Amino acid sequence: MFSNQYMQQAYALACKANDSGEVPVGAVVVYKEKIIGAAYNQVEVAKNPLAHAEILALEQALAFTCTKYIEQCELYVTLEPCPMCAHAISLAKIKRIYFGAYDEKGGGVVHGAKIYNSSSCHHHPEIISGIMEDECSRLLKNFFNNLRR
């Protein structure tokens, strides 16, 4: 069930990513109204292209539950997941994704690869998009504008 507080927490994590020079994306995994995974992008600091907020939050949630599927969990993320993250979300069998900003160039859910429309995708989470879209988009635009300067 949607709660704006979780998206606000994902946004706060995205701001932390921004402050540390990472692409500002934050994610939280929620189970029964409890956050069991929370992360922001750490690609630069970890020197790891897989260290996306969603992947790191999923890893925490899976470790918390000690299971390979977290089908009763919901994911709140500030940016439309990329194809890699979208597929990982499917593999973990997340129940529902709430995301903020759309990613027309690199998205994997509504744009681009549209992972959940593929016949090879066996789990299709419910998707609710555009949550805090203005704030999430503005944070990303400011980050990339500052990067270009």
- Is 136 annotated as a binding-site member? no
Angle at 130 between CA 96 and CA 64, to 5 degrees: 35
Marked catalytic residue, from 54, 71, 80, 126: 54
54 given a catalytic annotation: yes
The span from the CA of 92 to the CA of 82, in Å, is 15
Report which residue type is found at 87: H
- Is 52 annotated as a binding-site member? yes
- Is 82 annotated as a binding-site member? yes
Q: Give 29-32's long-range contacts (Cβ < 8 A, gap of 24+).
A: 29/57, 29/58, 29/60, 29/61, 29/70, 29/73, 29/74, 29/75, 29/76, 29/94, 30/3, 30/6, 30/73, 30/74, 30/75, 30/76, 31/61, 31/64, 31/65, 31/70, 31/72, 31/73, 31/74, 32/72
Annotated binding site for Zn(2+): 52, 82, 85
- Which residues are designated catalytic? 54
